[in-house]
Amino acid sequence: MADEDEVSRRADGASEAEPPEQAAGALVDRGNALLDEHRFEEALSLCDQVLQRFGAASEPALRAQVARAFIGKAIALGQLGRFADSLSSCDDAVQRFAGYDDARLRELVAKVLVHKAHALMGLKRPEETLSVSDELLRRYDRPGDEALHVAVAGALLTKAEALGELERLEEALPLYDEVFRRYGGASDAVLRDTAGVALLSKAIFFRLSNRPLEALATYDSLLQHFSGAREPRLRDLVAAAGSGRERTLELLERSEAELAALDEVIHQQGDASEPGARARVARALLDKAALFRQQHRSEEMLSTFDEVLRRFDGASEPALREAAAEALLYKGVVLGNLQRTEEAVAVYDAMVSRYGGVGEPVAVRVRVARALSYKGVFLGRLNRREEEVAAFDELDRRYGGAREEELREQVARGLACKAELLWKMNRLEASLATYDDVVRRFGLPEDAQLRARVRSL
């Protein structure tokens, strides 16, 4: 109670002899302590007192305390879920202080921008979060400027979170690594905490993406690096990592048990000649590949698809032809994801040659139709635009007259992609004609935005 009474006397202006920067600093320090105690309303009140009493100050030392109060206010408002108010507070602080060359104020403005990015994330505005984070890094990420490291680390981490929200996860992963590389061995507790959060966020991403082996490796890195930490926040991160590691092991054990069960089916029935047994083996292999996909084990997926093709490519039974077509379809997808684009296109050419006949079961024809669409996409990655158009034309030529709904859907999507492609190639009349053809043949609603965009060029 004694220190609270002292703060009250200062807040009421009772200690007139105390220098203003010390009075303001005491209030901000107490507000930060209240933030640590999760007493956010009280912290907000103290920060507002500082801004009301000292907000118009011109002395550099006092301006710095006012900037600190803005940061405390932004944090308190964010913790209370008042993200719009937090954003407004940050904008006010940047407007007041961004023009000063004072080193302390530069550090504080950088921290304000971090909390502005946090507020934008709270408002579900990740694109703007990226912009603010990039601005901060452009202005303040300078080698050797240790005073700005906390803000730079926060910007890198927030940028990674925004990329994750935008499902640009592969761009986020290197940023988590960068934070840990730079600050994992720092002596500053806040930097070490940020590095720990980066590793934990990366591990959680891997676990939720069904990439358990990578998740385990990341959890292990965190535990190895921070297991002896004394700071309470790092100890909490270590505990969370331990719990996450246990859940990941359970996931991996379940996956390995499922793989073992599928391998048992393949082992027991792999040499059978009876059609039902052969179909079960094909299904087990495809299910095995699906488990590998969940774990992002691409090379093992490719090997499993090749095993399906070795056993069943060219089989006459409908179920086995469907299985072989599915293996070819997804083998091409995996090769494309691995940037082995030419190989993916070759797989689809072979698939169309072997399984593109009009007498194939509808499930096979649907897979071939999808393969032609993927072939178009991959040719686009290779900047082979005319061949990309030809792939969509072949899709229409083969399946444009089909009555089955699954095939009609594939053709409609492919032609819509063709219309968009022609627009990008500046073939505007052809783009409009293709789009109108899709609307006429497949009864799709008019897309006024697309048509307006094409017609405006």
Which pLDDT score is estimated for 365?
94
Q: Is 446 helix (H, G, I), strand (E, B) or coil?
A: coil
**Average pLDDT in the 368-392 region?**
93
Residue 193: partners with Cβ closer than 8 Å, 6 or more residues away: 231, 233, 234, 237
CB 345 within 8 A of CB 319: no
At residue 170 the predicted structure's pLDDT band, cuts being 50, 70 and 90, is confident
Alpha helices in 37-125 (DSSP H): 40-54, 60-79, 83-97, 103-122
CB 316 within 8 A of CB 354: no
User: Can you give the pTM of this predicted structure?
Assistant: 0.60
Which pLDDT score is estimated for 420?
87
Percent of the chain with pLDDT strictly greater than 90: 58
Statement: residue 5 has pLDDT above 70: no
Lowest mean pLDDT among 103-112, 156-165, 316-325: 103-112
At residue 194 the predicted structure's pLDDT band, cuts being 50, 70 and 90, is very high
**Average pLDDT in the 205-234 region?**
88
The two structure tokens encoding residue 97: 């202080």
Residue 428 burial (C-beta neighbours within 10 Å; 0-12, 13-18, 19+): middle
At residue 175 the predicted structure's pLDDT band, cuts being 50, 70 and 90, is very high
Statement: residue 12 has pLDDT above 90: no
- As a whole number, the mean pLDDT across the chain is 87
At residue 101 the predicted structure's pLDDT band, cuts being 50, 70 and 90, is confident
Residue 114 CA, distance from chain mean position: 19
Distances (CA, A) of 4 to 9, 25, 30, 62: 9, 15, 9, 22
User: How many CA atoms does the CB half-sphere of 238 hold within 13 Å?
Assistant: 14
Residue 320: name the closest of 358, 369, 354 by CA: 354
- Domains in the chain, ordered, with CATH? 252-407 (1.25.40.10)
At residue 206 the predicted structure's pLDDT band, cuts being 50, 70 and 90, is confident
The two structure tokens encoding residue 63: 């301006």
**Average pLDDT in the 185-208 region?**
91
Number of H helices, E strands in the chain: 21, 0
Per residue in 238-285, pLDDT tens? 999 999 999 888 888 888 888 899 989 999 888 888 889 999 999 999
Which pLDDT score is estimated for 16?
52
The two structure tokens encoding residue 252: 């991996």
Which pLDDT score is estimated for 444?
55
